[in-house]
Amino acid sequence: MESTSLLVVLFAALLIPLLMARFNIHSVPTAVAEIIVGIVLGKSLLGWVATNSVLEELRSLGVIVLIFLSGMEIDFSLFKPQKNTTGKIGIAKLAFLGYGSIILVALGFSYLLKLMGLYSHVGFAAIIFATVALGVVIAALKEKELLSKPFGQTILLLAALGEVLPLIALTVYQNLNGTSSRSVWLLLLIFLAAIVLLLRFRKPYQWFAQIDKSTTQLDIRLAFFLIVTLVTVAESVGAENILGAFLAGMVMKLLQPREETQDKLTSLGYGFFIPIFFIMTGANMDLRQLLQEPKSLALIPILLIGFFAAKVALVPLLMLRFRKHNALAGTFLTSTTITLVIPALSVGRNLGIISTTQSGAFTLAAVITCIVSPILFNTFYVAEKEDFKKTRVHFIGANLTTVPIAQQLSKGLYDVHLYTDDPEKYKTYNSEVDVTLLPQLDDATLREAQAFDTDIVTLAYFDHTKNVALAKWALAAKVPRIIARFEAKNASDSEYDDLAAQGVEIYNTFETNIAMLRSLIETPSTLKILEDTEAGIFEIVVNNRRFTGLEVKNLPFVNDITISQIFRDNHFIAPHGDTQIHLGDHIIFSGDKKGIAQIRAQFEKQN
């Protein structure tokens, strides 16, 4: 019987996404569909899945892996103070104020439940009402490509707080109200253990990538070592194991794993363990018993109201920065909750502060939020109209080399501007390109003229000493890319090498002519592509997470372009149809210039 139940669960896990794809069901999260199928297969209806030791072990592993992956989704850069140039309330401040309002309303509603005689444990109920399903929120924001935008960052930070703080509060609550004699201060040991593991593996982890191979998978072994270690420490100090799993995910995130590492862990979790957890959650629910108790049945709509009411104060706060429709959309999305509710209810049952039927009512209300909230978010969200952001290129030095290049680059993909301190050059080229005459060539003048406020700066004077000084000023101004011309260098002078070591891209006419002549001899067709005004060789950087993990053969526009190389981790990769795209990849390809703007707009959009 044990093997039969496991077979039914695994078959259901396989069939659910296939049926959702077949019938175009996109508004309901897969996790919710799995819980609903579990309810159908379990004791509530068909009874085909019976709880046994094997499924319970896999279910426990499922929730641990789920919480671990949630910890890996935390974007720690959101917690850093950010420069605010809009004059509006900052993202971090708005998110913290918003989550503060959620805590206050959740406490108020929980106290109201106590006054109504429906549930007496105010603190525990407030923790559940204040939770946010980080995984569902990330999926919804990623689908609309909002993660890099202020609205997406605000909602993401709210969701991160809605998972981290309730998890810590749940652990403290369980420690204070449980039967354990351990001091609550022992909980600090798990955070200390997490810090020690982070410091211990920060440097070796970079070495793992060099010695790793397909038969060792060191990154995955380290991930499960972190999980087991911190889960063990958590249980030893009287904390819930999910806190250890969450901290393990945060440690793994701070180790800055490669994109493929997170892909493998996600595949392992969502491919096996997590579906079993959600299906068994539904299978263990007894709707028949729940429906037989009118008081518990009446509790479901009240709890559902509580999940939405806890976030209602977000609307006026989000309206301080975003339009009304999007403030409503963000509030509905943060009302989604399921990830932490289920393990929290397990803690409540262990503490004896919640009955099985009450637990079922909370679970059903949480499931309903996961169905309704994403639909309401998609209904209310109004996308901001965005123009394609051109790459800004500034040339310092106007001459017969830079002016023709600037004229060609200005045809759609780049925003080009030239600067010169030569009045004669300004007079000659002013009518042909966008050029600014500088009164003098020094750091202060260039900064005042916003010459370094650009994505790429090209230093194109014939004078070697001028370009050296310009390169140093550009480095101090932290220009992302610096291209400098050096026709000659003193063999005893290390400035050239020092600038190159700091990332300055060096070129000179002699070496360029050699490379062009060699290309003309060896690959004449390639040179013709470079000279062609309609076709060309281009490079895009993959910033959009929507494309990470996709194989080359499944990329959009793949039939319209020819990918020749992928530059990744400082070396080139010869791509094949099954080569996976990673975040930060530089894709080098040839194609028609007319479609490049659209391709770049999609791939380089930060998400």
Looking only at the bridges linking them, the beta strands covering 586-592 and 561-568 are antiparallel
What band does 332 get if pLDDT is binned at 50, 70 and 90? very high
What's the rounded Cα separation, in Å, for the pair 43 and 341?
Answer: 21
Residue entry with tokens 């798990």: 190
**What is the tens place of the pLDDT at every residue in 566-604?**
888 777 788 887 788 887 788 887 776 666 767 777 777
Q: Are residues 330 and 468 both part of a single domain?
A: no
SS3 string, 7-58, reads: HHHHHHHHHHHHHHHHCCCCCCCHHHHHHHHHHHHCCCCCCCCCCCHHHHHH
In this prediction, residue 208 carries a pLDDT of 67
- What's the CATH number where 478 sits? 3.40.50.720
What's the rounded Cα separation, in Å, for the pair 101 and 334?
Answer: 13
Q: Are residues 17 and 122 both part of a single domain?
A: yes
Q: Are residues 141 and 47 both part of a single domain?
A: yes
Q: Are residues 262 and 135 both part of a single domain?
A: yes
Number of other residues whose CB lies within 10 A of the CB of residue 434: 12
Q: Are residues 144 and 279 both part of a single domain?
A: yes
Provide, rounded to the nearest whole percent, the portion of the chain with pLDDT above 90: 8
Domain assignment of residue 488, given as a range: 391-513
Mean pLDDT for all residues in the chain: 80
What's the rounded Cα separation, in Å, for the pair 447 and 42?
Answer: 68
Instruction: Answer whether 393's CB lies under 8 Å from 416's CB.
Output: yes
Q: Are residues 368 and 395 both part of a single domain?
A: no
What's the rounded Cα separation, in Å, for the pair 540 and 581?
Answer: 12
Ranges of H-type helices in 430-532: 443-448, 464-476, 495-501, 509-522, 524-531
Instruction: Answer whether 159's CB lies under 8 Å from 137's CB.
Output: yes
What's the rounded Cα separation, in Å, for the pair 399 and 426?
Answer: 10
In this prediction, residue 214 carries a pLDDT of 63
Provide the β-strand partners of residue 393: 416, 456
Q: Is the pTM of this model over 0.85?
A: no
- What's the CATH number where 534 sits? 3.30.70.1450
In this prediction, residue 184 carries a pLDDT of 58
Amino acid at residue number 355: S
Q: Are residues 113 and 224 both part of a single domain?
A: yes
Residue with the bigger pLDDT between 547 and 105: it is 105
Instruction: Answer whether 105's CB lies under 8 Å from 313's CB.
Output: yes
Q: How many domains does the chain have?
A: 3
Tell whether 103 is covered by a domain. yes
**What is the tens place of the pLDDT at every residue in 473-532?**
999 888 888 988 887 655 556 777 788 788 888 877 766 777 667 766 766 666 565 555
What's the rounded Cα separation, in Å, for the pair 577 and 497?
Answer: 39
Q: Are residues 444 and 490 both part of a single domain?
A: yes
In this prediction, residue 105 carries a pLDDT of 93
Provide the β-strand partners of residue 274: none
Q: Are residues 222 and 318 both part of a single domain?
A: yes
Tell whether 426 is covered by a domain. yes
For residue 420, the Cα-to-chain-centroid distance in whole angstroms is 42
pLDDT higher than threshold 70 for residue 215: no
**What is the tens place of the pLDDT at every residue in 12-45?**
999 998 988 888 877 677 777 888 898 889 888 8
Q: Are residues 412 and 479 both part of a single domain?
A: yes
In this prediction, residue 200 carries a pLDDT of 75
**What is the tens place of the pLDDT at every residue in 44-81?**
888 888 888 888 888 888 888 888 887 777 766 666 65
Number of other residues whose CB lies within 10 A of the CB of residue 307: 26
Angle at 425 between CA 424 and CA 428, to 5 degrees: 90
What band does 85 get if pLDDT is binned at 50, 70 and 90? very low
- What's the CATH number where 205 sits? 1.20.1530.20
Q: Are residues 468 and 561 both part of a single domain?
A: no
Q: Are residues 419 and 567 both part of a single domain?
A: no
Number of other residues whose CB lies within 10 A of the CB of residue 56: 12
In this prediction, residue 387 carries a pLDDT of 44
Domain boundary among 478, 513, 548: 513
Single out the residue of 279, 288, 276, 222 nearest to residue 251, CA to CA: 222
What band does 534 get if pLDDT is binned at 50, 70 and 90? low
Single out the residue of 171, 342, 349 nearest to residue 244, CA to CA: 171
Tell whether 522 is covered by a domain. no
Angle at 386 between CA 381 and CA 387, to 5 degrees: 165
What's the rounded Cα separation, in Å, for the pair 469 and 442?
Answer: 9
Domain boundary among 380, 414, 445: 380
What's the rounded Cα separation, in Å, for the pair 330 and 154?
Answer: 9
Domain boundary among 456, 478, 513: 513
Return phi, psi of residue 438, to 5°.
-90, 135
